């Protein structure tokens, strides 16, 4: 037992020495990672770069530009905040507020349509409507009916336009529509404007009707009616001219007496022609008679 203890003691001491030496070597080894603190030059530069980058991100998120001809609707967590933002540089809360642009310039949209007339004839044409979103109503448009420009025409303009077209054309016969096309266009424009004024989203700035398509037989009938109307108008004009001429001659005959004739004679008399006061045997004064010149 004593012999085993004496043998094990040196081995234990060697193991302790080897473990202590290993630990010291590990402590002396250089690690690839360094502790960077703000007190060191590298830590200060890194912190400054991080702050500058964060500030740049915040500024770019807070500032936005509204181009000319547009307005912007600002929403806070999905809810419209404030009025429409006008063109120029504007501010918003970063990451909380969003921006929805709306074009307020005049938009031109053609719409092909077909409608029935009063005499149940089908006509086809193209209605070109000019409209613009009211700048002050962009927020209400966004919150109630359209979240972008592409939705304004199909949701606001088109239904009112087609309704007005059918309402107006159903009141007139085909012949009247073809002969008074410009007047019908004005009626449709007023009807569309009145319909859209109920909602006050947009402003109608014009409407043109073009490309009227009707059956060939009805086109010939319309042309014949127009020719007959022109001939009737010409005849009525000639009758009025004849009536005016007759009235003028009648008025002239009533006013032509001896005194008027004598006045006309004196206006034309050259002063050398001999005249006599009246014809022989006439009673009272009469119209002077020219008897000859010198």
Does 125 lie in the same domain as 83? no
DSSP for 189-209, written as a single string:
HHHHHHHHHTTTSEEEEEEEE
CA distance 213 to 219: 9
Residue 75: strand pairing partners: 80, 98
The verdict on residue 257 lying in a domain is yes
List the 107-116 sheet strands across, edge first. 107-116, 122-133, 202-213
The verdict on residue 172 lying in a domain is yes
Residue 175: strand pairing partners: none
Q: Which two tokens stand for residue 183?
A: 């007047």
Q: From 188, 214, 240, give the residue that closes a domain.
A: 214
Q: Which two tokens stand for residue 285?
A: 């004064």
Identify the pLDDT of residue 114.
94
Does 221 lie in the same domain as 196? no
Q: Checking DSSP bridges between strand 289-292 and strand 107-116, what pairing results, if any?
A: unpaired
Does 147 lie in the same domain as 228? no
Give the number of other Cβ atoms within 10 Å of residue 117's Cβ: 20
DSSP for 146-162, written as a single string:
-SSGGGHIIIIIHHHHH
- Which residues constitute the domain of residue 233? 217-270
CATH number at residue 125: 3.30.479.30
Identify the pLDDT of residue 269.
73
Does 209 lie in the same domain as 125? yes
What is the model's pTM? 0.60
Does 170 lie in the same domain as 209? yes
The verdict on residue 10 lying in a domain is no
Helix (H, G, I), strand (E, B) or coil at 114: strand
Torsion of CA 106, 112, 115, 121, to 10 degrees: 130
Q: Sign of the CA dihedral 30, 31, 35, 40?
A: positive
Does 239 lie in the same domain as 205? no
Identify the pLDDT of residue 242.
86
DSSP structure class, residue 136? G
Does 221 lie in the same domain as 210? no
Identify the pLDDT of residue 286.
53
Q: Which two tokens stand for residue 44?
A: 């200060």
In tens digits, what is the pLDDT along the chain, a chain of 294 residues? 443 444 444 444 544 444 444 444 444 444 444 444 555 666 788 888 989 988 889 898 899 999 999 999 999 999 999 999 999 999 999 989 999 999 999 999 999 999 999 988 889 999 999 999 999 999 999 999 999 999 999 999 999 999 999 999 999 998 889 888 989 999 999 999 999 999 899 999 999 999 988 877 777 767 777 788 888 888 888 888 988 888 877 776 776 666 666 777 777 777 676 665 554 445 555 555 554 544
Does 224 lie in the same domain as 254? yes
Specify the number of domains making up the chain: 3
């Amino acid at each position: 037992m004593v012999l085993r203890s004496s043998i094990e003691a040196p081995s234990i001491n060697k193991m302790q020495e080897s473990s202590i030496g290993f630990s010291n070597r590990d402590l002396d080894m250089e690690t690839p990672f360094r502790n960077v603190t703000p007190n060191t030059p590298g830590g200060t530069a890194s912190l400054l770069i991080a702050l500058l980058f964060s500030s740049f991100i915040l500024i770019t998120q807070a500032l936005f530009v509204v181009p000319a001809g547009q307005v912007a609707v600002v929403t806070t967590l999905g809810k419209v905040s404030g009025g429409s933002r006008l063109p120029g540089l504007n501010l918003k809360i970063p990451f909380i507020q969003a921006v929805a642009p709306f074009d307020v310039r005049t938009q031109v949209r053609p719409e092909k349509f077909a409608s029935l007339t009063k005499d149940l004839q089908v006509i086809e044409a193209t209605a070109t409507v000019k409209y613009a979103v009211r700048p002050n109503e962009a927020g209400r448009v966004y919150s109630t009916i359209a979240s972008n420009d592409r939705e304004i025409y199909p949701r606001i303009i088109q239904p009112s336009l087609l309704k007005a077209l059918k309402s107006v054309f159903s009141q007139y016969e085909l012949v009247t529509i073809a002969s008074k096309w410009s007047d019908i266009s004005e009626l449709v424009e007023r009807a569309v404007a009145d319909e859209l004024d109920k909602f006050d989203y947009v402003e109608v700035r014009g409407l043109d009707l073009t490309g009227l398509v009707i059956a060939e037989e009805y086109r010939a009938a319309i042309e014949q009616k127009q020719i007959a109307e022109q001939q009737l108008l010409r005849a009525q004009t000639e009758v009025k001219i004849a009536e005016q001429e007759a009235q003028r001659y009648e008025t002239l005959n009533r006013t032509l007496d001896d005194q008027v004739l004598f006045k006309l004679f004196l206006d034309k008399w050259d002063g050398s022609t001999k005249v006599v006061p009246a014809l022989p045997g006439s009673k009272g004064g009469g119209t002077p008679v020219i008897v000859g010149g010198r």
